[in-house]
Amino acid sequence: MDPVSTASASLEVSGLAFAYPDGHQALFGVDFSIARGERVALLGPNGAGKTTLVLHLNGILSGGVGSVRVAGLPVDRKNMAEIRRKVGIVFQDPDDQLFMPTVREDVAFGPAAAGIKGTDLEERVDRALGQVGMQEFKDRPPHHLSFGQRRRVAVATVLAMEPEILVLDEPSSNLDPASRRELADILRSLDVTVLMVTHDLPYALELCPRSLILSEGTIAADGPTGELLSDDGLMRAHRLELPFGFDPRSVTMGA
């Protein structure tokens, strides 16, 4: 891919290397940039370093070599509050994010903690729930919702912070086909930069025009998702497998 200009980049990762205290080296100099409004999939086998990379995007992990910038802002201690507003992470299990008595309170929690109050807070909550089609459920206890509905509410809790970047960890896992389609429609409609970490390669192809393959702590490939998934040698080399019978070359992609 052509490098994204600094002025138009939502995310810039440069020379990022990181080792855990036990000496395990997880990242070995990762470089990439993502433009505002792009939807990009982060692919790779287990143990490739995907979680370690994601945890650097909002400063949960730090202290290695290299740099991360979000909307031009360095991810460092003095910018941490703003960075954590700009980078919203939706966890694989929505129950890790939903802990309040009602949907409304869960979605309001982040903005309220950031000092948003009164009518402004209610507008944030209504707007975020509207974006995921869950407004009519705002007074429901989250544990009364289906798994797919809880995942949409988890997305709303992040959207209520009005992030620059939405990071999704395995967003399609455990979803039935209808919930999977509904979430895809929601993600396409959002005016936000998306980084989707997934093993679901057809979902990556459906939603993300561009993909990065992270393998053994480095970016092994960066390009159009369909081209990467159609490269049999590349896929085998990095332990990526398409579902039986699925041919990415036969799929006609929309916007």
Residues 161 and 186: beta-carbon distance below 8 Å: no
For range 225-254, the mean pLDDT: 90
Residues 203 and 173: beta-carbon distance below 8 Å: no
Predicted local confidence at residue 245, as pLDDT: 86
For range 49-58, the mean pLDDT: 94
The pTM (predicted TM-score) of the whole model is: 0.92
Q: Domain 6-240 falls in which CATH fold?
A: Rossmann fold (3.40.50)
Q: In the structure, what pLDDT confidence band is assigned to residue 1 with cuts at 50, 70 and 90?
A: very low
Give yes or no for residue 255 having a pLDDT over 70.
Answer: no
Give yes or no for residue 198 having a pLDDT over 70.
Answer: yes
Q: Which two tokens stand for residue 194?
A: 């998306």
First to last CA, the chain: 19
* 172-194 per-position pLDDT tens digit: 999 999 999 999 999 999 999 99
Residues 207 and 214: beta-carbon distance below 8 Å: no
